[in-house]
Structure 1
Amino acid sequence: QRLGGDVESIRVIAYVVSGIGFLGAGVIMKEGMNVRGLNTAATLWCSAAVGAIAGSDMLAEAALLAGLVVVANTLLRPLVDAINRIPLEGRSLEASYSVTITGSATQAGPLGDMLVEHLEAQSLPVAELDVEERGEGRVDIVATLVSTNVPSRELDDIVDHLATVHGIAHATWQARTHD
C-alpha cells in the first residue's frame, strides 16, 4: 500500500485471492462420493484474508476476522459432527465404515440394491458399492458409507437383519480409522 497506493494494494490482494484459491483446491480431496478438505480450504482462504487486511493497515479488522475464524472453526465443529452422525457413546472417532455381504454372483445386482436400500432406510447413505469376486460363483458386495461416525449398534442391527430376514449367509461390517 505504501509503494503503490490503494489501487496497487487491491491488485496485490486479487493475486492473493487467486493464489490461495489454487492452494485451497489442492487440499480438497474426493473419496468416492465423500469430499474432504473443504473446511481446511476455507480456513486457508480466511487466513489469507487476515494477512491481506493486516497488510492494508487495518489491524483491528484483521484481529477481528482472525478471532471469527477461530470461533467458527471451534464452535461449528459440533454441528459438523452431528451432520456426520455422532455415535451415542460420544466418541469422536472418524472412520470409514463398510458393510459386506456375500452372495451368488448371479444375484449380485439385486443383492447390492437391497443392501443400499436397507442402509439408506437407516439414514446411512452409501458412497460406493463394489463387487469383489470370491470364486466358486460367489461375490462380496461391499457398501462404503458416507458417514464418518456410525454407532456400532446400528450396523450390528442391519447385519443381523440381513442375515436373519433375507437369508444372507455372510454379512459383516468393519470400520477403518483414518491416519
Structure 2
Amino acid sequence: MTILNFTSRLGIALLLGAFIGIERQWRQKSAGLRTNTLVSLGSAAFILLSISITANTGDQSRIAAQIVTGIGFLGAGVIMKDGMSVHGLNTAATIWCSAAVGSLAGIGLFAEATIVTIAIMLTHLVLRPLGNKLSKLPYIKSDIAQTEYLFTIKCKEIVENHIRILLIQHLGNDDKLLMRSLTSSDNGDPNNAIITAEITSISPQDLLMEKVASRLTIERDVMKVKWEVVGAQTDV
C-alpha cells in the first residue's frame, strides 16, 4: 500500500468522524468532536495496519474483530446510571458507529463509509425530535390483565375427591378463569391430602377467591384453605 493511499483513507476516516463529532459536540455530549474523530481515525488505522501486515497471506478480519471489542469498553465508559435512569446510551452507540465508519474508510469503502455517516447524522437530527414527541404522548395501559392464583387446600384423604369436585365446580366453570393445574399429594402423611390448584384470570378476582375459600373452609374434614396471588401480567 502506498503512502498516498494510506493517507487518503486515513483522511477520509478523520473527515467523516469529524462530521459525526460536530453534531455530538453541538448537543454538548460527553463524546463530542475529538472523541468521534479519534475513534474513526483509530479504527481506520487498525484496519490499515491489518492490511499492511497480512497482505494476501493472512486474515485481515482478526484486527477488525478486536476493534469491535475495544469500542465496547470505550462505549461502556460513557454510560452512566442515575437512579432508575440510564444516560449515555446514544453516545455509546454513536461511538460504536464511528468505529464502523473508520473501519469502512480504512478498508477503502469510501462510498459506504459516507453513507453510514449520513445515516448516523440523520438518525440524530431527524429521529431526535420524533423521539421527543413520542415521549410526550400519553401511554394508556391495556385493561386486559392476567392474574395468577395459587389455591392450596389441606384436608383428610377421605374427602379429597369431594373437595376437588367442589373446587372445579366453583372455579373451573367460570369463563374468566382458567384452571391450569389441579394436583394432590399426601406430603408424607397418607391420612391427609394437600390439593393445589393453579388458576389464571383475565382480570383480578380476589373477591371470588375469598368466597370460594370461605365456602371450602366450612366443609367437613377440611383443615386449611389458602389462596395467594403468585403473578400478574399486563397484555401490552
Instruction: Tell which structure's C-alpha radius of gyration is larger.
Output: 2
- TM-score > 0.5 by shorter chain: no
RCO comparison, higher one (Cα < 8 Å, 6+): 1
Q: Compute the TM-score of the two structures, normalised by the length of structure 2.
A: 0.34
